C-alpha cells in the first residue's frame, strides 16, 4: 500500500527529439519527393553536413546544422531551424529551415 508521499505523477508530453535521421528530415522538409530519393542522394555522397561530406542517410541532424547539396542544378545551403517527425504541408515544411543562399538565382543552362 502506498503511503501519503506516493502521489501520482502528472502526464508529461514526450520531449521533442534532439536529433532526426538526415533522410527523414530532407523528406519532411520537402526537398525530395520520397525518403528513398533523399536516402539515395545522401548515400551517393552528394551532401555536406556542417561543411563535411556525409554519405550516411541515417546520420542524426539537429537544429542549427547546415546542409549543402545540389538540387535542380542549384546549390542549396540550408540551416535547420526545426525538426519534424512527419511530412506536412509545404507552408509548414518551409518553417523547418532557413535558406542561407536565398538571394542567388539559378544559373541559366
In the chain, what are the helix, strand and coil shares in percent, each to the nearest 5? 20, 25, 55
Q: Is residue 8 part of a domain?
A: no
CATH number for the domain including 40?
3.10.290.10
Residue 108 has pLDDT above 60, yes or no: no
Q: Is residue 67 part of a domain?
A: yes
Residue 12 has pLDDT above 80, yes or no: no
Q: Domain range for residue 30?
A: 20-99
Rounded Cα–Cα distance for residues 6 and 34 (Å): 49
> What pLDDT, on a 0 to 100 scale, did the predictor assign at position 5?
60
Rounded Cα–Cα distance for residues 57 and 30 (Å): 16
**Mean pLDDT estimate for the chain:** 85
Task: Summarize pLDDT for 27-78 with one digit per residue, the tens.
Answer: 999 999 999 999 999 999 989 999 999 999 999 999 999 999 998 889 999 9
Q: Is residue 6 part of a domain?
A: no
What are the backbone angles phi and psi of residue 80, rounded to the nearest 5°? -75, 125
Higher-scoring residue by pLDDT: 107, 39: 39
Q: Is residue 92 part of a domain?
A: yes
Q: Within 13 A of 101's CA, how many CA atoms are on the CB side?
A: 14
Burial class (CB in 10 A: 0-12, 13-18, 19+), 97: buried
Amino acid at each position: 500500500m502506498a503511503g501519503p508521499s506516493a502521489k501520482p505523477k502528472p502526464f508529461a508530453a514526450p520531449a521533442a527529439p534532439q536529433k532526426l535521421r538526415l533522410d527523414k528530415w530532407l523528406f519532411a522538409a520537402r526537398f525530395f519527393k520520397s525518403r528513398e530519393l533523399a536516402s539515395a542522394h545522401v548515400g551517393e555522397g552528394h551532401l555536406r553536413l556542417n561543411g563535411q561530406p556525409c554519405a550516411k542517410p541515417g546520420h542524426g541532424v539537429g537544429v542549427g546544422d547546415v546542409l549543402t547539396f545540389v538540387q535542380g542544378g542549384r546549390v542549396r545551403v540550408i540551416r535547420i531551424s526545426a525538426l519534424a517527425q512527419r511530412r506536412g504541408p509545404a507552408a509548414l515544411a518551409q518553417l523547418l529551415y532557413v535558406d542561407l543562399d536565398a538571394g542567388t538565382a539559378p544559373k541559366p543552362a
